[in-house]
A = this chain, B = another copy of it.
């Protein structure tokens, strides 16, 4: 077991230095590599396979709700980006500009898309004529660029992968419905597929998307008590539509502006998975997105029948639709245990001569290392059950972490004290004024994460100014 120890020692303990622990995992689990392009990361096969699984699940769900995929150019002419005032103010400071094509200076500079509202709007203005052309529910999977000063793999990088949905509707009600529908789709994906409990709510005006009327969000809480915005869904009303002249001839023969939404999630999800489920042995992956769901480690593999049995189990699991790998490499079983714990493989199966003699094998769950002896002729069903137990346990553990780290403050002193001593969500009432929001940032270094849907008030006065307040806000520090 010497190898195992050595391997695990290479990771910083999470309670000692959470940021370093995170950085260690993304490297040691082979998720990313750094390149010579500052702030841009290389997503390695194991990391990219997680993204491919995320894409497959979401893309299938999107299409079930009528979404169609398209591809828009990656460049936006400066004049197009500046067409909607709030939008350009939000994004212009952080875009990369192309100014040369070959050896020629461009007459108009092009930004590399930070998001594609403007391109979608220009296209929609071209193709939407009549109410019969509505709704339009488009999405694209692509990479976008935001020229961040400080970067961290998955969480904040100058280039990242995402999907951006952009839709056009006949009425405000229909747009609102789509905004909520997609938020709920994200929430369900986080909670059921990724075992990450989320708070659904609305962003304050300060935190909403540049140009949106309303931004809805799913907020997840990481192991260290900092929040992560998991996905957002925006209702644009008809602001962009008016700026871009997107109108349709209604059945009453009058021209009307369209109502618009957009919604997206990105590779930042992978950072969220790491910081929600990971532990001191490495990554812990929810089965839905794990590139390898079950790893089979033969014990004393040189002994007759062991490798054959391992391969037979693998085939049985594969036939049952499980992503499985047999590692028959030359390293010791102990080394392999650490390796696949680092990589977060949800379930390990050990199979050796003694097990074989009894027609069984051992399953070991990644989250709690619980061992179960399983009869070989029942292995597929048993593996599925263990994976399902793990999926639920990950959710419960993350939920408990959130509950343990959710505090309530009734006045400013309380809030400042909690923010200084604890890390997590602080529930507190807010009057709705920007000044109070800014003051809480200043005195307690917290930002408003969201105003949860359907939440019970925890008082009737603003935690900051003491004026009457109807809005409950979750405050916290965020990635």
Contact = CB atoms under 8 A, between A and B. Distances in A.
B127 A77 contact: no
A71 B33 CA distance: 10
A222 interface: no
A103 B91 CA distance: 12
Contact of A145 (B45, B70, B74, B99): B74
Interface string A382-401: 00000000000000000000
A138 B45 contact: yes
Interface in A95-119: 95-103, 109-110, 112, 119
A43 B36 CA distance: 32
B73 A40 contact: yes
Contact of A69 (B45, B77, B95, B99): B45
Contacts of A213: none
A35 B112 contact: no
A75 B159 contact: yes
A126 interface: yes
Contact of A70 (B40, B43, B75, B158): B43
Nearest to A34: B126
Contacts of A19: none
B127 A36 contact: no
B93 A103 contact: yes
Contact of A37 (B44, B76, B97): B76
Contact of A102 (B43, B95, B142): B95
Given A76-B37, A122-B36, A126-B33, A70 B98 contact: no
User: Most B CB atoms within 10 A — which of A37, A95, A119, A127?
Assistant: A37
Nearest to A45: B68
A75 B123 contact: no
A41 B73 CA distance: 6
A32 to B, nearest CB: 10
Given A33-B126, A36-B122, A71 B42 contact: yes
A35 B98 CA distance: 17
A470 to B, nearest CB: 38
Interface string A114-152: 000001001100110000000000100011010100000
A52 interface: yes
B102 A147 contact: yes
A145 B73 CA distance: 10
Contact of A142 (B138, B143, B158): B143
Interface in A39-76: 40-45, 48-49, 51-52, 68-76
A418 interface: no
A161 interface: yes
Contacts of A188: none
B138 A42 contact: no
A156 to B, nearest CB: 15
Given A33-B126, A36-B77, A73-B37, A112 B98 contact: yes
Contacts of A94: 102
Nearest to A160: B71
Contacts of A322: none
A96 B269 CA distance: 31
B159 A37 contact: no
B69 A52 contact: yes
Contact of A71 (B43, B74, B101): B43
Complex A-B, nearest 6 residue pairs according to Cβ-Cβ distance, in ascending order:
A40-B73, A45-B68, A97-B100, A101-B147, A43-B71, A102-B147
